[in-house]
């Protein structure tokens, strides 16, 4: 349980991958972390793993495709902590074949797949952020981190020869472009407040999504950008698109 002076963070999709490592990294900094997961068993198991390391975390039921969960999360945070210092919108799906060499699917993608990906990666993220925003305003210096991807960069997609030029996964990529746009818009809406909103590209990371055999980056390194943006100082950016120390082209 958080102490009164302790910062409180919510990480969505925290039961594995980059979300789990982000939760671990934030908790290791003394932050109380609510670990969102859609599956209670997987979420509880992940929280138990971190608790066994002496970290201050707890599991919270949160399915990003089910907005009925959002008011429960909001009510729990409001009644237990009265504020939310950090929101890491980490949960995401890529249901297109994760063979990164597959052909461009823009002309053939089923609408169902496109809509399902937008539901989790974009609409859920926007709705959860909106519902939690009053609690983030109550924190001294709120931080919102939106997990994007370099695959959301329109500049790089339009540039022949760029490292992502041939990775045209319409559903995943366009949800991340939309997340980038939301980041810029929300940062603008909050520009006269202490709250900072940024988009993170974690790198190409050895998770279930990134591909454990093909991705070059360890998961601990993949969590660094999220942790850095979640704990930015007053002089840090807002409305930026960041990978480690680099700013990416939109
Ligand atoms: N790995 C990479 O190379 C890479 C690169 C760029 C960006 N990213 C982004 O980084 C974030 C984390 O990715 P990852 O690589 O850690 O992926 P991952 O290992 O597949 O983990 C994704 C997490 O999101 C959760 N999730 C999926 N749908 C959900 C839903 N409806 N409600 C709640 N949670 C849900 C998963 O829960 P379940 O276990 O229940 O499925 C899991 O905890 C994603 O937003 C991804 O797009 C990853």
Average pLDDT of span 141-166: 97
Q: Report CA(17)–ligand 1 centroid distance (Å).
A: 7
DSSP per-residue letters across 192-243: TSS-EEEEE---SBSSTTT-TTT--B-HHHHTHHHHHHHT--TTS-SS-EEE
CATH topology of domain 8-247: Rossmann fold (3.40.50)
Three-state SS string over 116-177 comes to HHHHHHHHHHHHHHHHHHHHHHCCCCCEEEEECCHHHCHHHHCCCCCCCCCCCCHHHHHHHH
Half-sphere exposure of 166 (CA within 13 A, CB side): 6
Atom of ligand 1 nearest to the CA of 150: 6
- What's the token pair of residue 248? 């990416």
Quote the mean pLDDT of the chain: 95
73-128 pLDDT tens trace: 999 999 999 999 999 999 999 988 655 556 788 999 999 999 999 999 999 999 99
Per-residue confidence (pLDDT) for residue 5, from 0 to 100? 72
Helix axes 170-189, 111-118, angle to 10 degrees: 30
Q: Is the pLDDT of residue 59 over 80?
A: yes
* Least confident among 27-36, 98-107, 173-182, 232-241: 98-107
- Residues 17 and 205: their CA atoms lie apart, in Å, by 9
Q: Is the pLDDT of residue 1 over 90?
A: no
Atom of ligand 1 nearest to the CA of 89: 45
Per-residue confidence (pLDDT) for residue 3, from 0 to 100? 54
Domain residue spans of the chain = 8-247
Can you tell me which residue has the tokens 């963070």? Answer: 9
Q: Nearest CA to 27 among 45, 41, 39, 46? A: 46
Q: Is the pLDDT of residue 2 over 70?
A: no
- What's the token pair of residue 119? 């539901």
Q: Is the pLDDT of residue 32 over 70?
A: yes
Q: Is the pLDDT of residue 153 over 60?
A: yes
Half-sphere exposure of 207 (CA within 13 A, CB side): 24
Kindly list the protein residues whose Cβ atom lies closer than 6 A to any atom of ligand 1: 12-13, 15-19, 38-39, 42, 62-65, 90-93, 120, 147, 149, 201-202, 204-205, 207-210, 215
Angle CA(125)–CA(67)–CA(131) in degrees, nearest 5?
Answer: 60
Q: Report CA(19)–ligand 1 centroid distance (Å).
A: 7
Task: Give the pLDDT band of residue 134 (cuts 50, 70, 90).
Answer: very high
Buried b (16+ CB within 10 A) or exposed e, 48-59: ebbeeeebbbbb
Per-residue confidence (pLDDT) for residue 242, from 0 to 100? 98
Catalytic residue positions, numbered: 172
- Residues 249 and 199: their CA atoms lie apart, in Å, by 12
Name the DSSP class of 94.
-
- Residues 128 and 134: their CA atoms lie apart, in Å, by 11
Per-residue confidence (pLDDT) for residue 101, from 0 to 100? 58
This prediction has a pTM of: 0.97
Average pLDDT of span 38-49: 98
- Identify which has the larger pLDDT, 104 or 54: 54
Per-residue confidence (pLDDT) for residue 99, from 0 to 100? 54
Per-residue confidence (pLDDT) for residue 127, from 0 to 100? 98
- Identify which has the larger pLDDT, 10 or 107: 10
Per-residue confidence (pLDDT) for residue 196, from 0 to 100? 98
Q: Report CA(92)–ligand 1 centroid distance (Å).
A: 4
Average pLDDT of span 45-63: 98
**Helix extents (H) in 81-123:** 111-118
């Amino acid at each position: 349980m958080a102490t009164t002076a302790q910062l409180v963070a919510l990480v969505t999709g925290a039961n594995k991958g980059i979300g789990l490592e982000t939760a671990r990294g934030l908790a290791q900094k003394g932050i109380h972390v609510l670990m969102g997961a859609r599956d209670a068993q997987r979420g509880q198991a992940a929280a138990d793993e971190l608790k066994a390391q002496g970290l201050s975390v707890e599991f919270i039921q949160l399915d990003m495709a089910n907005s009925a969960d959002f008011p429960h999360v909001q009510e729990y945070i409001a009644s237990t902590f009265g504020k939310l210092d950090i929101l890491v919108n980490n949960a995401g799906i890529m249901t297109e074949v994760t063979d990164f060499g597959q052909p461009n699917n823009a002309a053939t993608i089923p609408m169902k797949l496109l809509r399902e990906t937008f539901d989790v990666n974009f609409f859920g993220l926007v709705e959860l952020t909106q519902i939690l925003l009053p609690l983030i305003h109550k924190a001294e210096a709120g931080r919102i981190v939106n997990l994007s991807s370099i695959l959301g960069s329109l500049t790089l997609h339009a540039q022949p020869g760029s490292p992502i030029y041939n990775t045209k996964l319409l559903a995943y990529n366009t949800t991340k472009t939309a997340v980038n746009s939301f980041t810029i818009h929300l940062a603008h809406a909050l520009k006269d407040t202490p709250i900072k909103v940024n988009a993170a590209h974690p790198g190409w990371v050895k998770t279930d999504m990134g591909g454990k055999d093909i991705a070059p980056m360890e998961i601990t390194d993949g969590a660094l950008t999220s942790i850095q943006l979640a704990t930015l100082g007053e002089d840090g950016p807002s409305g930026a698109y960041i990978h480690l120390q680099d700013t990416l082209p939109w």
